[in-house]
């Protein structure tokens, strides 16, 4: 494929990501916003593929679509008043929100216009990434890996404890 | 089509038997700068799913179930009822497209679409032959395991959008089942990936080729491999909602589960998605444990059965036949075993399959490090 068609496809995926993310925020129906998140996650996975990060793209789909999105959908379906879009939170801070938005956008634009060179890595990695990721996880990043596994184990034990059928009360 | 475009495209059968030649020729096939070959490449599995579910899927399942129950099955349309499926499809196309008034219109329509796309996406990494694979990813197996997660969203959209308590119950049951059984399935496949040392589907198949045919398959390469093979097969039944794990569509309790409200072509699309994922899991199990497109016949002295029955075209034949064999086993089990209860289903997943998957994982690791 030519460079031009890559650009076109990139902008299609970028548009899908941004539009669906905007829909997540702006729609009144929380079921729709949860389903719209699917397209955001997939758009981001596609952008990872464009960066030649296949492994991260697939991990994005596995973790976010297979895990987080399903959890969110279940959570949304178990909440009351899904079909009542008129409900609003009492905490509405429009003025600080606008200030924060202007601050973040101007800081990003300032950084972008004053220092417009992207950070480039010295060595581009060729070939299969999977072996490399496995090797790095088991050697240089073994401590964070083990720590996150302990965290997940603690979460699993906690979930099992919470969901346990209490024998003394029945 | 111009002559220059035609000259790019010679018959794929005449072009040697190197790795991925057919698919790479298709990728390079452009008409007026448009990547038409890529579209054809994506359309081939689509046509395959449609053809196979029409013939073997629907007609075969009805005939097999009939013979198992000592019936004749469809006999009226055509000789032995061969044209029955065509008549059914014609009926489904003519049916009125009913959307219930109280349904969520958008989710009701998009649900079957997401479901079908999800079951079709994994076909991108299935090596149909040594010369044909949709996308030769180096994370192919991981992708094939992960992309199934999208099916869950389609089922939830269909079940929620129907605004029917049976449909919602079916959807929630189905999602709980798929999400739980993904764990033993993924760990069992990891055992195969460990034996291969790669996640590339084409590479896994190549590593299982050799002159002794089936003896090179991973199922027969280690004394533990039958355990992850069996675990993945059971878990894959649950992932595609087939009996004995068909509680999401248990007709005695839930009418038809998450597709209770669907009729006409939307129902046909849901069925197509089910048959699509049935072949997908069968293809994955044959690639990881049974050599994919490699011929199972061994060379016996001068009788070089393995050499004669290998090659790109034979590869496609073996791949599809292995897939069809597992689909036959799935149908066979459907008419043999009773349906599990929800608690039995969860018991089987968390207290039987997952611990045994871990055990087989550790044993395979030990075998791979110390034995060969």
Q: What is the pLDDT of residue A143?
A: 93
Are B99 and B105 within 8 A, CB to CB?
A: yes
Q: What is the pLDDT of residue B123?
A: 87
Q: How many whole angstroms separate alpha carbon A13 and alpha carbon A32?
A: 20
Single out the residue in A49, A83, A117 at which a domain terminates. A83
Among candidates A58, A65, A73 on the partner chain, residue whose Cβ is nearest the Cβ of B143 = A58
Residue with the larger pLDDT of the pair B315 and B322: B322
Over residues B180-187, the mean pLDDT reads 89
Q: What is the pLDDT of residue A122?
A: 63
Are A61 and A136 within 8 A, CB to CB?
A: no
Interface check for A1 against chain B (CB to CB < 8 A): the answer is yes
Q: What are phi and psi of B303, to 5 degrees?
A: -85, 85
Mean predicted lDDT score pLDDT of chain B: 81
Q: How many whole angstroms separate alpha carbon B159 and alpha carbon B150?
A: 15
Q: What's the CATH code of the domain at A74? A: 1.20.120.1200
Shared-domain flag, residues A3 and A76: yes
Single out the residue in A48, A83, A118 at which a domain terminates. A83
Q: Mean pLDDT of residues grouped by 10 in chain A (170 residues)?
A: 76 91 84 86 88 84 85 78 65 86 92 75 68 85 93 91 71
Among candidates B107, B149, B160 on the partner chain, residue whose Cβ is nearest the Cβ of A65 = B149
Question: Looking at the domain assignment, is residue A10 inside a domain?
Answer: yes
Q: How many whole angstroms separate alpha carbon A98 and alpha carbon B325?
A: 62
HEC secondary structure over B280-348? HHHHHHHHHHCCCCCCCCCCECCECHHHHCCCHHHHHHHHHHHHHHHHHHHHHHHCCCCCCCHHHHHHH
Q: What is the pLDDT of residue B16?
A: 55
Quick check: B368 pLDDT over 70? Answer: yes
Provide, as residue numbers in chain A, all residues whose Cβ is less than 8 Å from the Cβ of B147.
58, 61
State both tokens at B222.
């280690």
Q: What is the pLDDT of residue B362?
A: 92
Residue with the larger pLDDT of the pair A102 and B274: A102
Among candidates B107, B142, B168 on the partner chain, residue whose Cβ is nearest the Cβ of A58 = B142
Provide, as residue numbers in chain A, all residues whose Cβ is less than 8 Å from the Cβ of B182.
66
Shared-domain flag, residues A71 and A134: no
Provide, as residue numbers in chain A, all residues whose Cβ is less than 8 Å from the Cβ of B150.
38, 61, 65
Single out the residue in A26, A60, A83 at which a domain terminates. A83
Quick check: B39 pLDDT over 80? Answer: no
Shared-domain flag, residues A77 and A3: yes
Are A54 and A47 within 8 A, CB to CB?
A: no
Residue of A nearest to B176 (CA): A70
Question: Looking at the domain assignment, is residue A73 inside a domain?
Answer: yes
Q: How many whole angstroms separate alpha carbon B81 and alpha carbon B139?
A: 43
Closest CA to A44 of A74, A30, A24, A26: A24
Are A59 and B133 within 8 A, CB to CB?
A: no
- For B229-241, what is each residue's pLDDT tens digit? 999 999 988 888 8
Quick check: B9 pLDDT over 60? Answer: no
The B residues from 94 to 133 touching A (CB cutoff 8 Å) are: 104, 106-107, 110, 114
Residue with the larger pLDDT of the pair B356 and B305: B356
Q: What is the pLDDT of residue A154?
A: 95
Contact check, Cβ <8 Å, B199/A130: yes
Separation in Å, CA A41 to CA A24, A45, A77: 12, 6, 20
Please enumerate in sequence order all residues whose Cβ is within 8 A of that of B199, keeping only pairs 6 or more positions apart, or say none: A130, B138, B139, B140, B141, B142, B193
Q: Which structural domain range is residue A25 located in? A: 1-83
This prediction's pTM? 0.83
Count the domains in chain A: 2
Shared-domain flag, residues A59 and A136: no
Question: Looking at the domain assignment, is residue A104 inside a domain?
Answer: no
Residue of A nearest to B168 (CA): A77
Instruction: Give the distance from residue B167's alpha carbon to the nearest chain A alpha carbon, in angstroms.
Output: 14
Question: Looking at the domain assignment, is residue A156 inside a domain?
Answer: yes
Provide, as residue numbers in chain A, all residues whose Cβ is less than 8 Å from the Cβ of B110.
35
Residue of A nearest to B182 (CA): A66
Least confident piece of the model among B24-38, B83-97, B207-221, B316-330: B24-38
Question: Looking at the domain assignment, is residue A9 inside a domain?
Answer: yes
Contact check, Cβ <8 Å, A66/B179: yes
Count CA atoms within 13 Å of residue B91 on its CB side.
8
Q: Is B123 exposed, middle or buried (0-12, 13-18, 19+ CB in 10 A)?
A: buried
Over residues B128-157, the mean pLDDT reads 83
- For B63-104, what is each residue's pLDDT tens digit? 888 888 888 878 888 788 778 888 888 888 888 887 888 777
Q: How confident is the model at residue B2 (pLDDT cuts 50, 70, 90)?
A: very low
Please enumerate in sequence order all residues whose Cβ is within 8 A of that of A51, keeping only pairs 6 or more positions apart, or say none: none
């Amino acid at each position: 494929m030519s460079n031009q068609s890559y650009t076109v496809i990139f902008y299609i995926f970028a548009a899908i990501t941004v539009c669906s993310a905007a829909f997540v925020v702006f729609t009144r129906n929380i079921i729709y916003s949860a389903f719209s998140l699917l397209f955001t996650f997939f758009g981001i996975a596609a952008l990872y593929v464009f960066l030649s990060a296949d492994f991260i793209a697939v991990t994005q789909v596995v973790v976010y679509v297979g895990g987080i999105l399903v959890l969110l959908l279940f959570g949304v379906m178990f909440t009351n008043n899904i079909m009542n879009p008129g409900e609003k939170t009492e905490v509405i801070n429009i003025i600080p929100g606008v200030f924060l938005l202007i601050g973040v956008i101007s800081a990003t634009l300032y950084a972008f216009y004053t220092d417009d060179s992207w950070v480039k890595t010295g060595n581009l990695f060729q070939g299969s990434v999977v072996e490399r990721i496995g090797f790095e996880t088991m050697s240089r990043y073994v401590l964070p890996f083990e720590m996150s596994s302990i965290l997940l184990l603690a979460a699993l034990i906690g979930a099992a404890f919470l969901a346990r059928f209490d024998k003394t009360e029945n | 089509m111009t002559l220059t475009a035609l000259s790019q495209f010679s018959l794929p059968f005449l072009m040697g038997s190197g790795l991925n030649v057919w698919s790479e020729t298709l990728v390079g096939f452009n008409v007026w700068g448009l990547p038409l070959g890529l579209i054809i490449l994506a359309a081939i599995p689509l046509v395959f799913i449609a053809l196979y579910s029409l013939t073997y899927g629907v007609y075969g399942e009805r005939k097999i179930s009939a013979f198992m129950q000592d019936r004749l099955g469809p006999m009226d349309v055509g000789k032995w009822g061969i044209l029955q499926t065509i008549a059914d499809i014609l009926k489904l196309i003519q049916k009125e497209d009913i959307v219930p008034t109280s349904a969520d219109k958008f989710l009701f329509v998009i649900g079957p679409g997401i479901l079908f796309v999800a079951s079709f996406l994994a076909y991108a990494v299935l090596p149909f032959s040594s010369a044909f694979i949709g996308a030769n990813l180096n994370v192919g197996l991981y992708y094939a395991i992960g992309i199934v997660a999208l099916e869950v969203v389609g089922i939830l959209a269909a079940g929620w959008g129907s605004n029917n308590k049976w449909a919602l119950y079916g959807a929630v049951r189905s999602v709980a089942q798929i999400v739980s059984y993904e764990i033993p399935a993924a760990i069992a496949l990891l055992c195969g990936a460990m034996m291969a040392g790669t996640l590339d589907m084409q590479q896994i198949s190549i590593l299982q080729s050799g002159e002794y045919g089936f003896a090179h398959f991973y199922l027969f390469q280690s004394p533990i491999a039958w355990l992850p093979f069996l675990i993945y097969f059971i878990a894959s039944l649950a992932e595609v909602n087939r009996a004995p794990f068909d509680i999401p569509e248990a007709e005695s309790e839930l009418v038809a589960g998450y597709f209770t409200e669907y009729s006409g072509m939307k129902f046909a699309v849901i069925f197509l998605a089910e048959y699509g994922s049935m072949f997908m899991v069968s293809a994955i199990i044959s690639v990881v444990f049974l050599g994919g497109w490699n011929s199972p016949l061994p060379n016996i002295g001068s009788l070089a059965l393995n050499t004669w029955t290998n090659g790109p075209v034979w590869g496609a034949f073996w791949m599809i036949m292995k897939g069809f064999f597992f689909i036959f086993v799935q149908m066979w089990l459907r008419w043999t075993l009773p349906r599990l209860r929800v608690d039995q289903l969860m018991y089987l997943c968390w207290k039987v399959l997952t611990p045994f998957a871990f055990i087989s994982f550790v044993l395979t690791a030990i075998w791979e490090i110390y034995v060969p």
